[in-house]
Amino acid sequence: MIRPLEDTDANEPSTDRDPEDLLPARMINELVYCPRLFYLMHVEGQFAESIDTIDGGIVHRRVDNGTGGLAPAEPCASQSFIPSADEEPVVVPPEPTKPKKPRKSKHVQAATLFGDDDAEESGQDEATPDAGSSDAETQDDIEDDNEDLPRTIHARSVTLSSESLGVIAKLDLAEATGNVVTPVDYKRGRPKRMADGTLAAWDPERVQIALQVLVLRDNGYESNEGVLYFNETRQRVRVPIDEELLELTRNAIASARRHRDSGQIPPPLVASPKCPRCSMVGICLPEETRRLAAANSPPAAVRPLITARDERRPVYFNTQGMWIGKQGDLLQAKVEGKVVQEIRFNDINQINVFGNIQLSTQAIQTALGRDVPIGYFTQKGYFYGVSGGLGVKNILVRRQQFRLADDREFCLEIARAWVHGKIRNQRTLLMRNHREPDATSLRDLKRYANRALQADSLASLLGIEGIAARVYFGDFAGMLKVDCGVSTGGEGYATAEKRPAFHFRSRNRRPPRDPVNAMLSLAYSLLTKDCLVAATIVGLDPHLGFYHQVKPGKPALALDLMEPFRPLIADSVVLSAINTKMVTPDHFICAGKSVVMSDAGRKHFLLAYEKRMDSLVTHPLFDYRVSYRRLLEIQTRLLARRLSGEIEEYPVFQTR
């Protein structure tokens, strides 16, 4: 069972805290902005890039290169930080006096303060002196008359922690004058403009800068204000630290710890303007989750916040003996030492290899570092598996998956929905594509779909699915609308007897004994791979299913997820490849009673498969259009929401 949120005193300090238990200050910022975003990023360890996050990384690129050096705090009677009663103050000896540097000319001083690449123009306050070649810059390089002024040190990427607060903070820039330190935090956007025209900071940013001030005080420094530098408008906004802000910050820390320890994801925001620009909206699914959670309420409209397609594309390598390496930011393919293809890593979301193809260690490491899965197939198209990075850090949803996999009632409930959706989609495909659909077959498929919802065991459900498949594949040949030539061989045929190349009598496999079955087997392998990738991305274990039984090396959950999509994706690709003549009899090789595709035929079939995966379909519940590849991910994330208890029923996709 998921534990309820426990009451925690926001001001209660914690001692002897595990260093791994420290909360990053940036995550407290995310919690104030959106608790659900905090949970997804910090607890589940999920992240997605967007133009805003990439731009923010560019803004922080300079300050992130700092060494983090900052002189230890000196004991000072006037400092505002007072250690707790059970905490002994740390006395740091004063630094040895350093010889004064020779003065620079005013021209040099100006160049040091305002570098060409980092000049910060401000409509208020002075600019932050963070340009220059060194990590720490002193104010006596700028002052040329008064040598009695205290030195101001500017240090970048200063990381400090507070065990009493249980947080760790990375300061983009620390302006230190003696024992007084002012944190400066860089933001990519623009400040908040008040009604009177003055500039202010947003609450998440105020809490983050206040948290940095608290950490500085806990480390013995004096700090009474912070500064936010907004890169878009190149303006600085000072944030005074008062008791109200400190109380808000301490409450945010306590709330973050409660959300983290509860294991329960916070509900999504309601029609929030924050969601459209959020990079995590495709993972969070706020509108979809609210729509499904409100089962007893009138259906709410769903804003189409998710992009219809992933701009990146899978890449397939099919030429035997090919060598795949990395050159700069390019994935480079060579045959017999000659470069035959170069693809940018930024354009790839999958790498798939068939048969005897070698990948260099550098290419594999780069793919894993960018969360690009690598799929492995035999030369004939049998799916081996996928290699990927560490994946989602969250173990909570997988723990629920393992618990519910032992719950027979839950397994039967969700298996009924999958089989029902599969049979309904098979019936729809026949109605759309058959030259003259048989009324009896359509009536039988409808009856079996309804019987699937009433099955009393997984064994009986398997029987219903098998009978429905026999009816469906019995009429499958009626959806083949072209005769593309002749072939020899095949099940039940004499070697010299000629038959239509795409003549289909029944489903057979291991090995397939006719071209249609060879394509069906390859299509199911490709779909299994994509469902396995989707399960891994979401954080589920692809080998623990609810309908398919667990067997060594069998991706049971991937097979579960693909059931409703078999007719809509795999079968549809086969029909399209044949009926549009993308695949012809010349693309098949007969070997005894088995039939395999040639390299050229597989290339054409992969093009047909990717075309189908990239085509748009309207979601019947959310009423927006997305590609089939995006749809697989959405459905898998909704399954995770069902496992965590956030929604009460898993919506199996059924095409209209």
pLDDT digits (tens, 9 = 90+) for 205-229: 999 999 999 999 998 899 989 999 9
Task: Note the pLDDT of residue 62.
Answer: 66
Task: Say which DSSP state 40 is in.
Answer: I
- Rounded CA gap, 613 and 506, in Å? 26
- Rounded CA gap, 559 and 547, in Å? 9
353 pLDDT above the threshold of 60: yes
Task: Note the pLDDT of residue 636.
Answer: 95
Q: From 63, 35, 274, select the one nearest 185 (Cα to Cα).
A: 63
Q: What is the SS3 assignment for 363-388? A: HHHHHHHCCCCEEEECCCCCEEEEEC
Confidence band of 426 (pLDDT split at 50, 70, 90): very high
Across-strand partners of 237?
Answer: 228
In the chain, what are the domains? 19-71+104-262 (3.90.320), 313-387 (3.100.10.20), 396-643 (1.20.120.920)
CA-based torsion, 620, 623, 629, 632: positive or negative: negative
Q: What is the SS3 assignment for 376-445? A: EECCCCCEEEEECCCCCCCCHHHHHHHHHHCCHHHHHHHHHHHHHHHHHHHHHHHHHHCCCCCHHHHHHH
Q: What is the SS3 assignment for 156-212? A: EEEEEEECCCCEEEEEEEEEEECCEEEEEEEECCCCEECCCCCEECCHHHHHHHHHH
As given in the structure block, the two tokens for residue 475 are 């009429």
187 pLDDT above the threshold of 60: yes
Q: Any idea which residue has 């618990």 for tokens?
A: 403
Displacement of CA 11 from its chain's centroid (Å): 35
Confidence band of 299 (pLDDT split at 50, 70, 90): low
List pLDDT tens digits, range 503-525: 777 787 778 888 888 899 999 99
**In 10 A of CB 188, how many CB atoms?**
16
Lowest mean pLDDT of 73-77, 479-483, 532-536, name the range.
Answer: 73-77
Task: Note the pLDDT of residue 298.
Answer: 61
Write the single-letter amino acid at 274. Answer: K
Q: What is the DSSP string of 289-305?
A: HHHHH-TTSPPPP----
Average pLDDT, integer, range 96-109: 43
Q: Which residue has the higher pLDDT, 462 or 501?
A: 462
587 pLDDT above the threshold of 90: no
- Rounded CA gap, 625 and 206, in Å? 39
Helix, strand, coil proportions of the chain in percent (round to 5)?
Answer: 40, 15, 45
Q: From 95, 88, 89, 90, select the one nearest 71 (Cα to Cα).
A: 95
Average pLDDT, integer, range 390-414: 87
109 pLDDT above the threshold of 90: no
529 pLDDT above the threshold of 70: yes
Task: Note the pLDDT of residue 75.
Answer: 63
List pLDDT tens digits, range 19-63: 567 888 889 999 999 999 999 888 888 888 877 787 777 777 766
Contacts of 46 (CB under 8 A, 6+ apart): 40, 280, 283, 392, 394, 539
645 pLDDT above the threshold of 50: yes
Backbone phi and psi for residue 563, each to the nearest 5 degrees, phi listed first: -55, -50
494 pLDDT above the threshold of 50: no
List pLDDT tens digits, range 129-151: 343 334 444 444 434 445 555 67
- Rounded CA gap, 330 and 312, in Å? 14
Distance spanning both ends of the chain, measured CA to CA: 37
Task: Note the pLDDT of residue 478.
Answer: 86
Task: Note the pLDDT of residue 87.
Answer: 38
Do residues 306 and 281 touch, judged by C-beta distance below 8 A? yes
Do residues 176 and 70 touch, judged by C-beta distance below 8 A? yes
Q: From 631, 609, 611, select the one nearest 620 (Cα to Cα).
A: 631
User: What's the full length of the chain, in residues?
Assistant: 656
Cis peptide, bond prior to residue 511, ω within 30 of zero:
yes
Q: Whole-model pTM? A: 0.78
Task: Note the pLDDT of residue 483.
Answer: 62
Q: From 402, 398, 451, select the one nearest 424 (Cα to Cα).
A: 451
Confidence band of 530 (pLDDT split at 50, 70, 90): very high
As given in the structure block, the two tokens for residue 605 are 């079939």
258 pLDDT above the threshold of 70: yes
Task: Note the pLDDT of residue 108.
Answer: 33
Task: Note the pLDDT of residue 260.
Answer: 86
Across-strand partners of 44?
Answer: none
Task: Note the pLDDT of residue 403.
Answer: 94
The C-alpha angle 491, 496, 499, rounded to 5 degrees, equals: 55
Angle between helices 599-614 and 628-643 (to 10 degrees): 60
Q: Where are the alpha helices (DSSP H) in 302-360?
A: none
**Percent of the chain scoring above 90 in pLDDT:** 34
- Rounded CA gap, 127 and 119, in Å? 8
Between strands 225-230 and 199-200, the pairing is unpaired
**Percent of the chain scoring above 70 in pLDDT:** 80
Do residues 9 and 254 touch, judged by C-beta distance below 8 A? yes
Contacts of 587 (CB under 8 A, 6+ apart): 597, 598, 600, 601, 602, 604, 605
Contacts of 635 (CB under 8 A, 6+ apart): 534, 561, 651, 652, 653
Helix (H) or strand (E) holding 516: helix 515-538
235 pLDDT above the threshold of 60: yes
Write the single-letter amino acid at 605. Answer: F
Do residues 25 and 168 touch, judged by C-beta distance below 8 A? yes
Between strands 225-230 and 338-344, the pairing is unpaired
Backbone phi and psi for residue 218, each to the nearest 5 degrees, phi listed first: -70, -20
Across-strand partners of 500?
Answer: 486
**In 10 A of CB 83, how many CB atoms?**
13
Do residues 187 and 205 touch, judged by C-beta distance below 8 A? yes
72 pLDDT above the threshold of 60: yes
Mean pLDDT of the chain: 80
Average pLDDT, integer, range 488-492: 44
Average pLDDT, integer, range 65-86: 55
Average pLDDT, integer, range 86-110: 41
Task: Note the pLDDT of residue 568.
Answer: 95
Contacts of 589 (CB under 8 A, 6+ apart): 595, 596, 597, 598
Task: Note the pLDDT of residue 149.
Answer: 54
Between strands 348-354 and 330-335, the pairing is unpaired
Q: Which residue has the higher pLDDT, 557 or 81?
A: 557
